[in-house]
Amino acid sequence: MAKVKIALDTRKTSQDKDGKFPLVLRISHQSKTRDIGFDIHIAQENFIELDTGEAQKKSAHFQIKGVANSVRKTKHVHKIYSDVDLWLDVNKGEIKLWPISLLKENIEKKFFNKQSQLSLLEHGAKMLCRFHSEKRYSTASSYEDALKIVVKYKKKLARKDDKAQIKDLFDKSKKDIFTVKEEFKPYDMPIKAFNVEFAKDLKTYLGQRLSSKNSINIHLRSLQAILNDAEGTYEELKGHKPLESFKKSSTANTPVVLTAEEIELIRQAQYPKGSSKFHVKNYFLFMFNNMGMNFYDVALARLNQFDGERFSYTRKKTESEGDYFSIKQIEENQKIIEYYARGKKPENYIFPIIPEDRVGEAVFKTKKGKLSWFNDNIKRIAEDLGIEKNLSTYTPRDTWTNLGLKMGIDIRKISSGLGHSSVEITEKHYSQIIQEKILDEINAQITRGLVP
């Protein structure tokens, strides 16, 4: 007859960095044993097995000490043990014919909310594989980053190092199927176990790890998208929406903008040809002169997109919406293009950002690395010039918008130049700049003529 007991997994390989061991439900069946963990780690001396008399008084055959809410956790663990024990007795006639693997799977499903075929990382792997086949590398990267945070949180629960960088969660060597890497499988979890309580604890963990509210909300939105996809895929997950009630909207960051004088300082800065600062200065000015062009679009720019007068491109971020731009190049941009065009074919990239032999995800990864390189170097340029502002790839776009609004250019024209689908999006992103302009105009009208 199958039996269960609460025990510590005291194998050396199961011990965490603090010397603690995982609490498990140990299943014995057909001369074999299997363990199901509780996500509780305690020191060996803090797991106390009670004798029969004490067990009857305590309504449990064990006691947990040395952890937060130890009484509550003891009751919770004992309830699962009692429920499983009763279920084994009621169904013993059928269960005696099962292999232990099937018994464990059923216990996990019924009492631990574990769905062996419906795990978070496994479903994430399927989604990422689909995104890669659709060349949606940016979305895939955002979703994988969110899953990495879940893995790090699970590592923390297991008393493992949660600070170490995770490069890739998945083996992507096969184009038609991604699989979870072996080292991360212990930190996978059933999708149903990602409930509201787990989500609240995860959000607290995110708040401890990340300083930006927007970064937290980006991860939560990505996780909600993964869970929503699973909920729409599997019948037994219908209605499983643990993140639905969480507020995840982004707040507008204060744009970092330059004055016309500071733009001129960057224009006049001199750096050795071929140096990182030399290239970054050129990219920065090219972006600013092209209505705050996105860095990724600069990286993908090819010579055949320039006809000698106009540069034409479709904005990568919103290419599905058909955001096509054809911009007449000022003399400064023409000189920049001429410098980089030497010895190149029409189909070559204009700028030495992405190597010509990169394809697929490698292009996205190279761009991501170069973006960090750009941000590091534009900050160094600002330091060189005494500009005490935190510059980034967003600065050309934000500066172009700010200067345009200050010149009194209609916000609808600004919005069109930015590639926004509506004026409301522009107003949301640049609400502070717009609000300041409106208040300045109102104040000037009211006070005009009243000041002696």
Overall average pLDDT of the 329-334 stretch: 94
Percent of the chain predicted with pLDDT > 70: 84
Q: Which of 172, 173, 171, 124 is nearest to 149 (CA)?
A: 124
Confidence grade of residue 116 (pLDDT, cut at 50, 70, 90) = very low
Overall average pLDDT of the 58-87 stretch: 85
Sign of the CA dihedral with 284 first, then 289, 294, and 296 last? negative
- pLDDT reading at 115 higher than 60: no
Stronger pLDDT, 219 or 422, i.e. the higher one:
219
Sign of the CA dihedral with 272 first, then 275, 281, and 286 last? positive
Domain(s) labelled CATH 1.10.443.10 in the chain stretch across 260-442
Using a cut of 0.75, tell me whether the model's pTM lies above it. Answer: no
For residue 139, the model assigns a pLDDT of 92
Q: What is the spatial distance between Cα 132 and Cα 150, in angstroms, rounded to a whole number?
A: 21
Overall average pLDDT of the 150-158 stretch: 93
Across the beta sheet with 3-8, the strand order is: 3-8, 21-29, 32-42
Q: Looking at residue 174, what DSSP letter applies? A: S
For residue 68, the model assigns a pLDDT of 83
- pLDDT reading at 443 higher than 80: no
Read out DSSP for 190-235?
BGGGS-HHHHHHHHHHHHHH-S-HHHHHHHHHHHHHHHHHHHHH-G
Stronger pLDDT, 41 or 105, i.e. the higher one:
41
Stronger pLDDT, 18 or 59, i.e. the higher one:
18
Confidence grade of residue 450 (pLDDT, cut at 50, 70, 90) = low
For residue 400, the model assigns a pLDDT of 83
Buried/exposed code over 376-390 (b: 16+ C-beta within 10 A; e: otherwise): ebbbebbeeeebeee
359-417, pLDDT tens digit by residue?
Answer: 888 888 888 899 999 999 999 999 999 999 999 998 998 888 888 877 776 666 666 56
The radius of gyration computed from the CA coordinates of the chain, to the nearest angstrom, equals 29
For residue 159, the model assigns a pLDDT of 87
Sign of the CA dihedral with 431 first, then 432, 435, and 437 last? negative
For residue 55, the model assigns a pLDDT of 46
Q: What is the spatial distance between Cα 427 and Cα 163, in angstroms, rounded to a whole number?
A: 38
Q: What is the spatial distance between Cα 80 and Cα 74, in angstroms, rounded to a whole number?
A: 10
Averaged pLDDT score across all residues of the chain? 86
- pLDDT reading at 202 higher than 60: yes
Rama region for 2: left / alpha / beta (φ>0; ψ in -120 to 50; rest): beta
22-57, pLDDT tens digit by residue?
Answer: 999 999 999 999 999 998 999 999 998 876 555 444
For residue 418, the model assigns a pLDDT of 61
Helix (H, G, I), strand (E, B) or coil at 310: strand
- pLDDT reading at 347 higher than 70: yes
For residue 57, the model assigns a pLDDT of 47
For residue 158, the model assigns a pLDDT of 87
264-311, pLDDT tens digit by residue?
Answer: 999 999 999 999 999 999 999 999 998 888 999 999 999 999 999 999
Stronger pLDDT, 193 or 334, i.e. the higher one:
334
The CATH T-level fold of domain 260-442 is: hpI Integrase; Chain A (1.10.443)
- pLDDT reading at 319 higher than 60: no
For residue 318, the model assigns a pLDDT of 62
Q: What is the spatial distance between Cα 50 and Cα 209, in angstroms, rounded to a whole number?
A: 40
H/E stretch holding 149 reads helix 137-157
